[in-house]
Structure 1
């Protein structure tokens, strides 16, 4: 064989190998999509069961039992009874590789808001008004799909079903547990369903939510409630930072296609505001003003209290002023930049340019204790759309008549099963 012919044959063989590899990658994700469709109805059924029987933070006994049994029936190794009612399903792949986790939260909210679905809560005063029932169905679906593709997975996958997210202690309790360090995780992922269009997946590197601080301003007993109303309004106006004419405290606008998070010029970027409503707590000795504030820029946090103190000291109420302090400072979700970009590129490559959209702002009011995982390991937290205007469904968390188009379960299971499989095979 001449050198020219040898080179031609070698090139053709190389092209065939590359084509076969690309075909295999395409086939595995087609298989994931097919498997997701097969289990979709069963995932909707279990989601509705969770919705009918919600359990408050620290009381997720029934929920965790169902989750553990489901994971066990998939052939996963299951750990229970840690960090409260925590459950972990362990899926060991066919080859050595990374340790990757998926987190789903389990607890419900203490409320009786309007819930216009036939499978509404049967537990008085408790309701899945934030979407954790959807999160669990998605987590179980991802576990089931990936269990069916075990031989294609390198390393070990951990499915963490976490209690007590709403009280902001569940993730910290898990991280502080010895079992967490034994997992030796390389990466962790999670999502939250919200009022984006159904199935839309949104993400951004770094801070996803605004920094939320609860502040207390203390005055002596000569300071009246009328004084508090006047002074608080002045403080709010003088500390506020926002785009002209915008109102970033109006949370529904965050999901607007023109001024919301998907717009690079969104009004939910670079702001500071204190909530319009505040609380007054008084006794014979003093009167306190308490309120939440929301700031997008971490470097500005250290300047807020001195600024408030300066405003008070320059007011007619300075002689009645005692102190100002933060009384609650939860950390905020902080997505690893490199891992976020990898996730975006992976999902786009598999499912196309519309598979994921970028978030250009930070949402006020909401938060998640997922940060405690991210503090220890690289992690990415996504937003998942659950609203469907045509069906009259609005997935506005913690709001009356919170509803979810369950089609988002299908899209999330398919997308994130593919993502995790690809991440397990990455270097």
Structure 2
């Protein structure tokens, strides 16, 4: 389908909104809000979506925002999710728009995710006549605590719209203009628990247990650029060193009367390893005279659809705005994502968005104290995802697919 010369191209539409999106990103970055407290960020998003003429719901599962765009013709439904909250940490990046909120910073790139999500909504709203179907935009709170997705799903965010597919982007330490997909993998889940110890040797026993837990790790966080480059190579390698892994951390917290509570966290791949890991932790606790408590089941891994990930990669490779699309065959061991719960309900994929520019000192490594993201990634992300969602609606609706003008 040729969209016609009288219709503005996606490139032009993105160029029109990009300055405001960069300003939005910097505003959100300057005033970060922690999980569950995203009032201002949610209000900024809702105001822009309403001004564009979208039907907007707020307060969904906390400070979640949902907007629905109905196209010019009936058809399938796709959803797009972005997250709103910041990390509980202080920022070290020397940027003009650095966080002004002590103890809160956008070190995971959610400010970029928010700006891209708003941009995709604005561009597709101005392309409504090209749309056969519906696009649902989900702006989720509390990703950093793995609580927001469940809260929005429990609030019925998907029930009235029943999307056929769902997509998301996440910042990554890849060059600006590049993307990556994760067919059949994504990010590990998380298990957590604690052991309480008492008696005259509780502190010594707690230290032994803490060290034993951390000794379960089969991979360690990169400490140098060279080590991080090796990890990127491992992520790209099918059946490589990260096909199976465990990462573990623990913290001993002194209590009253010499008691000690040791809290611990485990990430593992593949996701079926947690039963065996729990048994191993119980044995370690027995050796120091403690009893393990696991307050909740392990949080599930995020696993992207192989078919939809490969389809997204194939489509993005045909876009002029995209310099390349990598394929990751393993998960990054130290991060998780509650987008996992959306993917448990609806087929879909998360894509990595390159935000790094090493020559400018922008490393793009999420959760690094000096994390920074290149503003140019915002327009590229909007262009790519708007085109991808249009393409997926065409594919699901059985219409001839086309490159958007």
TM-score (normalised: structure 1): 0.83
Uncovered stretches (5+) of structure 1, i.e. residues with no partner:
1-20
CA distance in 2, matches of 1:28, 1:418: 18
Cα contact 1:197–1:387 (8 A) shared by 2: yes
Match for residue 298 of structure 1 among 267, 271, 278: 271
CA distance in 1, matches of 2:221, 2:129: 48
Q: Does 1:44 align with 2:22?
A: yes
Q: Does 1:259 align with 2:233?
A: yes
Cα contact 1:254–1:261 (8 A) shared by 2: no
Displacement of 1:322 in angstroms is 3.3
Alpha-carbon RMSD: 2.9
CA distance in 2, matches of 1:231, 1:372: 32
- Distance of aligned partners of 1:268 and 1:49 in 2 relative to their CA distance in 1, 3 Å threshold: same
Cα contact 2:69–2:135 (8 A) shared by 1: yes
1:164 equivalent in structure 2: 142
Q: Does 1:307 align with 2:307?
A: no
Displacement of 1:140 in angstroms is 1.1
Which protein shows a greater Rg?
1
Q: Deviations over 1:98-156 (max 9, x none)?
A: 11111111122333332311122233433222211111110111111111211111111
Cα contact 1:100–1:424 (8 A) shared by 2: yes
- Distance of aligned partners of 1:248 and 1:354 in 2 relative to their CA distance in 1, 3 Å threshold: farther
2:70 equivalent in structure 1: 92
Q: Does 1:217 align with 2:195?
A: yes
CA distance in 1, matches of 2:340, 2:163: 15
CA distance in 2, matches of 1:158, 1:28: 26
Displacement of 1:199 in angstroms is 3.0
Q: Does 1:330 align with 2:299?
A: yes
Secondary structure of the residue that 1:330 maps to in structure 2?
A: coil
Q: Does 1:228 align with 2:206?
A: yes
CA distance in 2, matches of 1:364, 1:154: 39
Cα contact 1:187–1:378 (8 A) shared by 2: yes
Q: Does 1:250 align with 2:222?
A: yes
Cα contact 1:218–1:321 (8 A) shared by 2: no
Secondary structure of the residue that 2:345 maps to in structure 1?
A: coil
Cα contact 1:254–1:268 (8 A) shared by 2: no
CA distance in 2, matches of 1:97, 1:374: 21
Alignment length (residue pairs): 393
Uncovered stretches (5+) of structure 2, i.e. residues with no partner:
397-405
Q: Deviations over 1:288-316 (max 9, x none)?
A: 33222221122222111223344565xxx
Cα contact 1:100–1:186 (8 A) shared by 2: yes
1:367 equivalent in structure 2: 336
Q: Kindly indicate which of the two structures has a greater share of residues assigned to helix.
A: 1
- Distance of aligned partners of 1:258 and 1:68 in 2 relative to their CA distance in 1, 3 Å threshold: closer
CA distance in 2, matches of 1:342, 1:28: 29
Q: Does 1:208 align with 2:208?
A: no
1:271 equivalent in structure 2: 245
Secondary structure of the residue that 1:166 maps to in structure 2?
A: coil
